[in-house]
Structure formats: C-alpha cells, structure tokens
Structure 1
Amino acid sequence: ASMQSVVGGVFNNSDIMRLDFSAEYKVTGQKESSREYTLTLKAKNDSVAYDKLIMTVDKKSVTPKKVVCYASTGMLIKTLTYKDIKKFAPGIIRPAVVETISPFYKGYKSIMVYGKITPKSFANEVFTLDNISKVGTLRR
C-alpha cells in the first residue's frame, strides 16, 4: 500500500483502504483478554507502508480498535484509533470514525468520519489505466 498522503492529512492510502492483512503481514505475537485480541504483525515484504503493526481487535465484532504502526527501524510512525463500530449495510460492519496521530505532526490529529457506505460491484477492467479518465463516474 502506498505511503501517499490522502487529502493532505496524516492518513495515507493503506490507512483507509480495506486491506487483507493476512496477505500482507504474518502474525508474530498474539495476546488475548476477555474483550480483545492484541496481534503483533510483521510485513511479509517491503511493499507495504508499515513494517510492523500492533493491532488491537474487538472480539465481538472482529474489527480493529487500534493499530500502532512502525517503520523497519522500530520508529513509531502513527497510531490509528477506530471508533463507533456500525453496520452500514448487510455484511459491512466497520468503524464510523478513524483517528490518526503521528509523532511527525505533533499537536495534530486527522479524523475521518463515515456517514454512509454503499456496496458496489465493478468489473476488474474498471481499475486499468485505460479507464482512469472515467474514474469520476464510479462514484455515481
């Protein structure tokens, strides 16, 4: 996932996309409490934005509550906090609020609030360079 910033905030593409963490990371540690799991994840390769993640997952909804992101040097890059878990549509249970803080932006917090998520299906061809000029029509 790209490190490219989204809309000038602390978020980048990997923070807001729905990622398959099992494809990108391997579990190197796991703890369990009565309400949550804490997973330590290590990147399988260097194509992802973060080398190591410490992810707290809500047991009931099986959704992330918090993700602490580190560089390969061990330096803290950012912390994402997921709040207000909602059912947006059948099969779509996600946090309605995502907050991120970073030591690189002291005193700042970026917040994304989702009011509505509408599932849509697209053919694979939509995501090719030939169709990039038509991307605006996908949102309709």
Structure 2
Amino acid sequence: MQVKAGLEREPEPLADINTTPLVDVLLVLLVMLIITIPIQLHAVDIEMPSASAPPPRSEPQVVEIDVTPAGRYLWNGVPLADRGELEAKLRDAAAQPDQPEIHLRPSRAAKYDAVAAALSSAQRWGLVKIGLVGSEQYER
C-alpha cells in the first residue's frame, strides 16, 4: 500500500475562540451581582394615626400656598412680594401653639426650584403638617 504524499496533511488549527465558557462565567457573575445588590425600597416613612386615636379637638387651620408659573407665591389667595415674605409668614405659622396645615399647590407650569424653595422654607421653620395638593392636574 502506498500513501500519496499529498493526502497526509496536518489539520489546520482553529482560529475561532470558544465563547461558551465565557458566556457561562458572565451569566454566573450577573446572577451573583443581582443576588448581592440590596433591594432598594422606595418607601416613605409616614406616621399614621392608630385606629384608637382620638378625633382632633378642633378643626385644623389650613393655609393654602399657591406657586404661580412665574415663581410667585400666594398665601390663601393673597400675593406675596417675595420669598422673604413667605418665610416670615411661615415663621409666624410655626410659632403658633397649634400649627396650621400647609397645603402647597404648585401650578402645572411652575418651576421646580420655586416649589422646592417653599418646601425647604417650611421644613426649616419646623412645620410638620405639609401636603402637596392639586396633583390631579398632572394625570393624563
């Protein structure tokens, strides 16, 4: 038996990389990452009254603060000159023995910084009964 010299070639090396082990390792690392990341809860701690809480002794006083699209403030419908006047009114409200409820109603076109300024001023003076009202205008 004779074997021709041209038929006895060595096989060429493969140039392709085997990506299956690489993908397996990456999937394992991804699963480990997902498991080890703590779950982020977007919760707001609100102290709710208990079922046995007594009703309030008197009707709470409500102060409505409107924020206009121009960034101006209205205190129960009365325009305020500037943020300094808003701060003075909030300081007076915080000094009352029974703090009023602050209902902040920003206009749909109001700038965020004007709303945030009103909230930070109320928080700075120690007002705790603050609520954003009028959110129905943002529903589609």
TM-score, with structure 2 as normaliser: 0.24
Question: Larger relative contact order (C-alpha < 8 A, sep ≥ 6)?
Answer: 2
TM-score, with structure 1 as normaliser: 0.24
Q: Which has the higher Rg, Structure 1 or Structure 2? A: 2
